Structure 1
Amino acid sequence: MNESIDILAFGAHPDDAEIGIGGILAKHAENGFSVAVCHLTEAELSSNGTVERRREEAKAAAEILGISRSIQLGFPDRGLRGSEEQILKMTQVIRQLKPRVVLAPYWEDRHPDHVACSRMVKEAVFDAAIRMKQTPGGESAHRVDQVFYYFINNVHKADLIVDVTDVYERKQQALLAYKSQFDPNEGEVKTPLNSPTYLAMIRGRDQLWGHQIGALYGEALVSAGPLKQTLLIPQEK
């Protein structure tokens, strides 16, 4: 892993990024930007499916969205402790891929792993920029231009909403690739994800965000810092 990536999205589990920013990833990939996703765990404690099946589903979803690289760090599900070893591995991924933008789960969520992932990404982004911080492969320091946080289960006031109308059905296809999680007929156990209302809720939420920017569908992001604006009012051409 030595090429530079435009966008690197972190998720605690395979399907996190697809739920929150599947449209954003697909839209940027379609427009020629390189997109990578890093899953911290293999979701081995999920109520439905198996690790092997989740791998296949994640691969299918990545192909649908146009993700150029999918990374699996294999941290234990419900074991995201933010240990020195875990942060170091995430730091190494950032330095190897040198992303311009990093995306992470929003820091408030009903799932503790999503909250932990958010915190760990913040630490890894910070450490990646420290010149004297050593990583096992000897990678040089890298400073990420911008960090944004995406929503999985929660909603909050957005700093940025991206119009994903033109790629929204691709997002839906990517979610449906995770049949073990979202298809009630595939699940042995009833969960919030395979509830008949879950995918409808995600679509409705994305419609609500889209409505705020005059689009059919949108995906919302929260900025880790101030957003840089060159001009408040663009110059007329």
Structure 2
Amino acid sequence: MNSITAIIADDEPLLRHHLDKSLSEVWPDLEIVATCGDGKQALEKIVQYTPDIVFLDIRMPELDGMAVAKQLVQLEQQPLVVFVTAFDQYAINAFEQNALDYLLKPINEERLEHCCQKLQQHLHAKSNKQAPDINHLLAQISQLTPKQQQYLRWIKAAQGDDIHLISTNDVLYFKAEEKYVSIYTDESEYLIRTPIKELLQQLDPDLFWKIHRSTVVRVAAIDKVTKDFTGRMYVKMAGHKLAVSRAQQGLFKGM
């Protein structure tokens, strides 16, 4: 019997690693034949390996997940698609009936186990039922994607008497400090008055994670995650060491 194969496509290396590691724990027999960092590479690997399953991030450079899924319809042997997304639960309900399954970021292990069980049942059933209608699913998702344009790209922040325009791509992390929130970059530190809770609602959840009640980090800036002898977890980035609350350690489970 041939093994079940899968491809993971996500532009964040940390998230690719996390999903790969978690899948190896909840579905040891699943063979990950490739991991990809953009949609163009994902499509090439799908054509090359003809996997049974593709874990497909909706937002990626080159080709986004929606564009990749649309092209999969043209393949003679279509893989089962599991969308990986930062859409909230309410938004997911609008199209979940038309996808085989979906995973919300950050990925919960119990939810991943449920997803894998659903995939296995579908693959083992070998019924004549048609696969979920990808075109219908994409039409549903396209109604939700304008929300993505509302996320902050630039932040006005103070440094002394000067006002600076900071790109969110340059941010390492945000830290709440009494009445202010400090913005840390590679080069300097800035201040804004926006409460951290309000700020978090304006940041792309694909790119920024809350690791502590007072700390939000840019995921791509993380160098590594460590634990001390007490089990306390820390994120390290560009010379900074930031504590991860116990409640948020699940973000890095299995890494």
The TM tier, using the shorter chain, reads 0.3 to 0.5
Give the TM-score normalised by the residue count of structure 1: 0.38
Give the TM-score normalised by the residue count of structure 2: 0.36
Judging by fraction of residues, say which structure has more strand. Answer: 2
Which structure has the higher relative contact order (CA within 8 Å, separation 6+)? Answer: 1
Of structures 1 and 2, the larger Rg is shown by 2
